[in-house]
Amino acid sequence: MMYKKYDAYKDSGVQWLGVIPDNWKIIKNKFLFNEINLRSFKSEHELLSVSQYTGVTKKSERIEVNEFLTNSNSLDGYKVVSKGDLVSNIMLAWNGSLGVSSYDGIVSPAYAVYRLVNNSCKEYFHYLLRTDLYKAEYKRQSTGVIESRLRLYTENFYAISSILPPLKDQQIISNFLKLKEMQIDQAIAIKEQQIALLNERKQIVIQQAVTKGLDPNVKMKDSGVEWIGEIPEHWQLSKLRYLGVTQNGISAGSEYFGSGYPFVSYGDVYKNRQLPLSVDGLAKSSIADQKNYSVLEGDVFFTRTSETVDEIGFASICYQTIEKATFAGFLIRFRPTNANYITKEFSKYYFNAQMMRTYFVKEMNLVIRASLSQELLKNLIVLLPSIDEQKAIASYLDRQMDAINELIGLQMSAIQKLKEYKTTLINDAVTGKIKVA
């Protein structure tokens, strides 16, 4: 969409801001904001935080009314925030962790709280001060040696110049951006929903193929397993324990990791259905370790332990031996003892079918942490089509997944373009590059 320009522009006098509309002003933040240091000793407000994505958010930790906050573990000394205040995470302002609050509440003393001293439009500053242009300036103005320790203190924030349109223009710009942001976010949400539906479609296609096969006319039989249902009559069933051996990974202190030989981590398995040939982890493994905890073609690795049962039992298949590699103690390795029973291609889809989630969630004993035992894994029922059928099913699913993933990729690309458009639109509107009135 094409937008008009303002009638005339002038040099802002600030190199990183460039030109601005002729009737707009440049004012240092120290003349626009006062720092607020009102402290809380008791509060009815919710604890607030600051996100680089959404600005000020609720932490949903309500403090009891009239509760005096005096001990070292309390919120004694937290800063009070009023609706419309600008809250900045001193250490993370450079990545966008600041914004105008829509709530009354309290924040950590690690945050700075500022309040406009005039009747300027608060929403306008919420957009202006979160642009990439300003984030780059926060980084330049912050003190510290490394990025993770940069701090934007009040004197640095005050030294930054803000673009100040006439009040009427501020209101027009903020109202325009609020509407456009809502429309763009709605478009993004629709595409995200379409991606979710496509991912659901992938699970349906996989489940159908690995439990029913590819022949719609094949004679079926009851598998005898509730979470599997009917299967082709000629297929075999077996518990995992009869198809191979299982083993937990290596456990060691922190000094064992960081250098040495390839090390397959929990994340390598959780994030990938096919194990990457090149992994980032390194471990000082011995020859004995590399033998006992080896990573060979055809191995299936399962996530073993996590804070939640939802992350347990995800499988990743090793398609090619990783020489001298070992694997993490948070994983279980299943190694087939006979390649005539199950192929790596079929394993990739079978062990990641949605019914696996049903089995693990149903059987898991959750105490403090969710943990998958070898015994539970050994009792997992595995369906065994013939080797030729397994290869045909895997080949069919490869084609189906490629087609669905292509559609997902198109939606993700569209989402990225919408996000980029929103960023550009906000930047151009608040800096006067386009006229939105």
Residue 68's pLDDT band (cuts 50, 70, 90) = very low
pLDDT computed for residue 422 by the predictor: 96
Q: pLDDT (tens digit, 9 = 90+) per residue, 346-383?
A: 999 999 999 998 888 777 654 445 678 899 999 999 99
How far is 416 from 208, CA to CA, in rounded Å? 32
- In 3-state terms, what secondary structure has residue 89? strand
The mean per-residue pLDDT over the stretch 280-308 comes to 92
Question: Angle 167-212/354-363 helices, nearest 10 degrees?
Answer: 90
Taken in order of first residue, the domains within the chain and their CATH numbers are 25-164 (3.90.220.20), 236-384 (3.90.220.20)
pLDDT computed for residue 44 by the predictor: 65
Q: Spell out the alpha helix ranges (H) of 213-253.
A: none
pLDDT computed for residue 367 by the predictor: 46
The mean per-residue pLDDT over the stretch 391-408 comes to 98
* pLDDT cut 90: percent of the chain above it: 77
pLDDT computed for residue 74 by the predictor: 53
Picking from 284, 288, 246, 287, the residue whose alpha carbon sits closest to that of residue 262 is 284
Provide φ and ψ at 361, rounded to 5°. -65, -40
Q: How far is CA 62 from CA 44, 49, 50, 393, in A?
A: 7, 13, 17, 53
Residue 75's pLDDT band (cuts 50, 70, 90) = low
pLDDT computed for residue 60 by the predictor: 59
Q: pLDDT (tens digit, 9 = 90+) per residue, 190-249?
A: 999 999 999 999 999 999 999 999 999 999 999 999 899 999 999 999 999 999 999 999
The mean per-residue pLDDT over the stretch 414-429 comes to 96
The mean per-residue pLDDT over the stretch 37-44 comes to 73
Strands 105-107 and 46-51 come out as parallel
Picking from 120, 171, 162, the residue whose alpha carbon sits closest to that of residue 431 is 162
* pLDDT cut 70: percent of the chain above it: 92
Provide φ and ψ at 347, rounded to 5°. -55, -40
Q: Assess whether pLDDT exceeds 70 at residue 420.
A: yes
- In 3-state terms, what secondary structure has residue 220? strand
Picking from 317, 336, 377, 318, the residue whose alpha carbon sits closest to that of residue 244 is 336
In this prediction the pTM is: 0.82
